[in-house]
Structure 1
């Protein structure tokens, strides 16, 4: 029999009706599964046993998965933690300090969905538990803002905005949280900052490349950076609420525990000496003065350039300009460094 005849015969089998004999059942399929058996009990592995992982163990397990190599596993673990923290009352068996210590390094994660899920998780944390850790949080936010990746820089702005919303007053009045973030803003904006020269008789300039100005893909980053800077300056220049003094204030300051985090941190008793960048600027006047001396000229020049560009950048520059007008008040805007004033005390021992 030839091959063509054999193939023709095989095709005809598909259209032939099988002849069934009386009393004989139909043949079972090759993938048939027998389900006629009966079981006295159904045993579940872990769902209903007493040794199943409780909520605390599952929380800690998912917290450990946030350092997994898989992007999907890190994102799913953060999603689970967000759900636990969103319950009423929230489930946080490890405490906010331990949680932040584990999650803050993820701010510079290479995966965008992971960073986005982390931001959702941070928004579920109580503001009162965030304020004591502002100095630690700002370090990781600054690292994200100055990252080489533009996507991470943009998410760094989101983290900064979140921190300003929950603990803005503590941010601008904490050690190293005023000048250092301003320097980072100047760097990402590409605005030149003039500094005092260490060589007598010579001025110094430092500049940063404008990586986002005019870029096609990241052109929206420049207005966004100015808006977050405006929010940061608005909190720093906000007038303090004056409260009338009472006779019990003296006793309260002696006999009561201070409510502010690190109330005696400005003394620097248990920390290494700070430079000007790491100082604490607790009042509005000090923040205004240091801003004018070190960043006023650069911000004024950058705003004028952004206004000329127009569009979203021009509108953001107008908002920043209004914040400076309201915040600086009667202070002279755009003050410049005077080399003679900087060296006025040279040769004197203070």
Structure 2
């Protein structure tokens, strides 16, 4: 890990402070940047996400994608967490904290709206940012890409029914244009560009590819920090004006992140999945597709609603919180690999007849 990566949490903290300060001092400038969007997808943020994930996608070897089936345990765990646990656990946490414990400290008229926003946030599993987290925990890139692709396909058909069920709505209008454009901008286009760059570099051999990846590596993290400044800058005024409400909304989000990432990590360990898959599986299970969540909340409840604010709080805490999950995953690798199931599956895979028997 480079010195830049080792001190990433310091840079993140500085970017949060800088973003809030700039957003508070220059709100019009950030409003102008925030208005540069198509179907509520912010284009400057999209460009920064490209810079973040294209170097990571260049590591993906599509010829090796057929081997992803060997990681069926990780895929199963992630899908279970994303679609059977996370939206419902957030609904319970939101009811407990927003509708119960902290109710007296919140505007009564916005209670249900805050709860709705938190549910919308949890019902949209993360896409683009997962590549950043997976890279930081040395995750298996082919697994990460395939898992994101599966989640995107499910999200197109499952997001609206799940949100509608949990919000008690008979019909819910999902901004499908936003969903499709987001998937295109954050996944399809970067994958195509990354594979084009990879094919050009591979003409000079794998050594040339690795050399290029080493040079452009800092670009990804720099883009991550710039994105953080923008996101906190967009909400600088809100943070300064409503710090207590934002802190309260952060409580169920924080608990949900650690609960779902921890559960996914543990289930992968119990199933015997490799650590390089368990890491991104846990991170995918915990993070959110905040672009879609914010757009859906605004479409359903309005720009100034409690629901929109709740989804924005998810945006604000996502990066610093997910970095702590990355740190936990990296620090616990030794403990993870001492798991009986992990060692048993690894030993079975190393047997000479493992490939013929289909074990693993």
- For the aligned pair, the TM-score class normalised by the smaller chain equals under 0.3
> Which protein has the larger Cα radius of gyration, Structure 1 or Structure 2?
1
Q: Please state which structure has a larger fraction of its residues in helix.
A: 2
What is the TM-score of this pair, normalised by structure 2?
A: 0.22
